[in-house]
Structure 1
Amino acid sequence: MEKSMIIKRGIHVGVFALVALSCGWIGRWLDTYVGRDATGSLGQLLWIAAPILTMLLLRGLAGDGWEDAGLRLRLRGNGRYYAGSVLFFPVLTLLVVGLGICVGWLNWTGISLRTYAEACAFALIPSFFKNIAEEFAWRGYLAPSLHRIGVPRLWSHVTVGLVWGGWHIPYLFLFTTTSEGMLTFLPRMLLGVVAMAIVYGEIRLRIGSVWPAVIMHTVGNALVNPLIAGEYLAIETKLQAVVMPSPDGWITMGLTGAVGVWLMLVRKKKKTA
């Protein structure tokens, strides 16, 4: 890529990041005037829609194009990545919850597994459509754009994770249940999101498609969000940071980070083979 194009795309990346990091706060400001109810708010709509709309404008009108947008499924030869995307969060959640129960750090509250399964199934469709918008912003624009302007692969994952995590902060209260102070919770949350960004980003850049990330994100939201919000687990307050099956839990974070590092090592090994 020519130097002028690198500069242009770098500026576009900065614009995208600025929109992503500010739209939630603008949304919160809107909510103070317009209000919100159980179905959401105008501010939340802006928060969800602004990154994907910015991506559409930058690709469609500002000249970034669609070559690296990851729109195609690319199923041929990539079945293992799609299978991994479906199974990643079920296996991860089972490991974390199973370990927590075995060592006595958490307990199932007694609500039936059927009720939990119904909650997961009910969450799948809205989560899928929400994550199309989310993933085609982060993995459909930011990740390949950083890669294309020459940012080293690991640092592109870290940057995506920090912007992605920062985007969550204004509406963090919608999907986080914690009695912990934000001074310690936020850095851990950002670290957990960076770990996820490495896994999502490695698969996305390797096969050139956003759809495995959409699937992985959808399955993760549908499994983990009801598990936490529905109070199916009883966890001691002092152990929540360790065993919570959400991305901010230390065990979840460690396992996710290990998978991300493994994916990077396998890629480097194949590259040098």
Structure 2
Amino acid sequence: MNVKRSKTRRNVILFSLVVLSCGWIGRLVDMQVGTDANGSLGQLIWIVSPLLCMVILRSGMGDGWHDFGMKPRFKGNSVPYWISLLFFPLMAVLIVGIGLGLGWTDLLQSPAAFAAAFGMAVVPSFVKNIFEEFAWRGYLAPKLFMLGYPRLLVHITVGLIWGAWHFPYLFVFVDTAESMITYIPRLMIGMIAMAVLYGEVRFISGSVWPAVIMHTMGNAFIDTLILQKFIAVHEEASYAAMPSPEGILAIAVTGLAGLWMWKKAGPGKTSSSLQL
């Protein structure tokens, strides 16, 4: 058992080093070969490396696939699946509604146009989030569970590593006039809050697919709202009213939902009490 734990700990460290470095390697590649409107080779390295590392560790370095969570496990898991489908759309509607009521947010395009854009975003988001969630909730979280760490600490650790993984491309995708000194800490808190929620739907269901679905719905709904400019949040209120991870309202709602699921499942439960 000690040998197995040592091997798992070694592989978790290797995985963490790969994911924390792959984005910076990708940026170096982009500096050499350039980028275009469709992305870049560096971004491909950044997205693919965590999944590729997971496959190598599970297939050839002793981790195995027993705790991956590939089976959907629909039976008895209607709650985590419904939460995965509905949480981010409902949260975004709530926060945008508050922003409209307080004069923080403006609607720039029609709901019908948004529905069409959202529909177009779902499939690409689903594919992208297979790469992400198979790595984060399909590998890192269950391996930390296996090492016996408290469940909430596992989620926080995953959130920190997941958040730091975004850093190399943060300046590429984020358009803000806010200082990174205040933006990044708030973003990291938001990533940890999401990691608790994603981690709990993964843990409760015993399947990685609710986390894939939840991530897909969050990206397809919220990113479409913001990046395609269906809403505009006034700069002075963006720290509070953005429905994305760095928004204070979003952090509060996501954090409360994650902690509710954690308590509902039983804070003391570990991987030995729920099949992964």
TM-score tier by shorter-chain length is over 0.9
Contact persistence 2:151–2:267 (CA under 8 A): no
User: 102, 116, 119: which one pairs with 2:117?
Assistant: 119
Comparing 221-230 with 111-120, greater Cα deviation is found at 111-120
Contact persistence 2:7–2:62 (CA under 8 A): no
C-alpha distance in 2 between matches for 1:205 and 1:20: 22
Distance 1:86 1:265, change over 3 A: same
C-alpha distance in 1 between matches for 2:99 and 2:240: 9
Give 3-state SS (helix, strand or coil) of 1:107's partner.
strand
Could you tell me the percent identity over the aligned residues?
49
Alpha-carbon distance, 1:179 to partner: 1.1
Distance 1:117 1:140, change over 3 A: same
Contact persistence 1:177–1:228 (CA under 8 A): no
Q: Which amino acid in 2 is paired with 1:51?
A: P
Q: Which amino acid in 1 is paired with 2:263?
A: L
Length, aligned pairs only: 269
1:252 partnered with 2:242: no
C-alpha distance in 2 between matches for 1:157 and 1:77: 23
Question: After superposition, what is the alpha-carbon deviation per residue over 1:54-77, rounded to whole angstroms, capped at 9, x for unaligned?
Answer: 000000000100000011000111
Q: Which residue of 2 aligns with 1:58?
A: 57
Q: Which residue of 2 aligns with 1:23?
A: 22
Give the alignment's TM-score, normalised by structure 2: 0.95
Distance 1:47 1:269, change over 3 A: closer
Runs of 4+ aligned residues of structure 1 deviating over 6 Å after TM superposition are none
Alpha-carbon distance, 1:265 to partner: 1.2
Comparing 226-235 with 121-130, greater Cα deviation is found at 226-235
C-alpha distance in 2 between matches for 1:31 and 1:84: 38
Give 3-state SS (helix, strand or coil) of 1:68's partner.
coil
Question: After superposition, what is the alpha-carbon deviation per residue over 1:173-205, rounded to whole angstroms, capped at 9, x for unaligned?
Answer: 343221111111111111101000000001101
Comparing 184-193 with 167-176, greater Cα deviation is found at 167-176
User: 205, 210, 213: which one pairs with 2:211?
Assistant: 213
C-alpha distance in 2 between matches for 1:122 and 1:225: 12
Aligned counterparts, 1:129-140, within 5 A? 129-140=127-138
RMSD over aligned CA atoms reads 1.2
Contact persistence 1:120–1:223 (CA under 8 A): yes
Give the alignment's TM-score, normalised by structure 1: 0.96
Contact persistence 1:161–1:194 (CA under 8 A): yes
C-alpha distance in 1 between matches for 2:258 and 2:117: 29
Q: Which runs of 5+ in 2 are unaligned?
A: 270-276
Alpha-carbon distance, 1:113 to partner: 1.5
C-alpha distance in 1 between matches for 2:93 and 2:205: 27
Alpha-carbon distance, 1:147 to partner: 0.5
C-alpha distance in 1 between matches for 2:12 and 2:72: 24
Aligned counterparts, 1:61-76, within 5 A? 61-76=60-75
Q: Which runs of 5+ in 1 are unaligned?
A: none
Q: Which residue of 1 aligns with 2:273?
A: none
Comparing 120-129 with 262-271, greater Cα deviation is found at 262-271
Distance 1:118 1:175, change over 3 A: farther
Question: After superposition, what is the alpha-carbon deviation per residue over 1:119-163, rounded to whole angstroms, capped at 9, x for unaligned?
Answer: 111111111000001000000000000000111111100010011
1:185 partnered with 2:183: yes
Contact persistence 2:240–2:248 (CA under 8 A): yes
C-alpha distance in 2 between matches for 1:114 and 1:169: 34
Contact persistence 1:162–1:193 (CA under 8 A): yes
Q: Which residue of 2 aligns with 1:163?
A: 161
Distance 1:76 1:262, change over 3 A: same
